[in-house]
Amino acid sequence: MKILLLLIPFLLVFSDLGLANYYEERDYREIFLQEIRSALKDLSGEIFLERFRVETSERAVPKGTPYKFEWIGKPKAGSNFALLIFQVKGTENRILRLWGYVEVKVPVVTLKKDVGPKTVLTEDEIEMEVKALSRLPHDVFFRREEVLGKETRMGLKAGTVLRSSYLTLPTLVKRNQEVEIIAKGQAFMVKAKGVALQNGRLSEFIKVKNLSSQRVIQAKVVAEGIVEVSF
């Protein structure tokens, strides 16, 4: 009896060593996390697993067994499925289904204060806040430069996460405004005065009346109060 009691700690150690030679759930979790970080490497933020589940094989898989990892669908923030295919020597492949809910904490552009409609955004109105990507709409902004100089379509409250659907380019030319017309060709450039017959944003084509010739032309808005015609 005394010999058996003395052997129990050693048996437990050997048992633990034996288990350590096979994949466990924590190993599958680490593989999944490594693969999702690689797949989402272009995202600037902290990536982690909120929840994880694995359909384990009936038989244990020895560590070091070669495997292939295949995503089911495109990896993203949120719910993800994958297959882990072990190539066990001398037997059929063992396939495990992995599921993980992935969260990515990323900085996004938000409003620092309330703004009204048609507000042209400057540094005074915006700030960066860290948010959970899986809970954000698809058209948010991750850089300040993407919103600076743009105009709000509507009134927005402080703390609002800015979306492309909330913003537009500002009106650089207004109807009945006097504008400068720049006519460009391969070897010449001519300037003339005109009157805008429509509102126009950057890169839009609008109707403009040339004050010298009285002709109505289509011109491209290139800057505030300036339109361009190419020949």
61 phi/psi in degrees, rounded to 5:
-105, 125
Q: What is the pLDDT of residue 11?
A: 46
Domains of the chain: 21-104 (no CATH), 106-168 (3.90.1210.10), 171-230 (2.30.30.760)
How would residue 230 be classed by pLDDT, with cut points 50, 70 and 90? confident
Burial 141-160 (b: 16+ CB within 10 A, else e): beeeeebeebbbeeebeeee
Tell which wins on pLDDT, 148 or 90: 148
Q: What is the pLDDT of residue 185?
A: 82
pLDDT tens digit sequence for 24-73: 999 999 999 999 999 998 887 889 899 999 987 667 889 989 999 999 99
pLDDT tens digit sequence for 92-136: 788 999 999 999 999 999 999 999 999 999 999 999 999 998 889
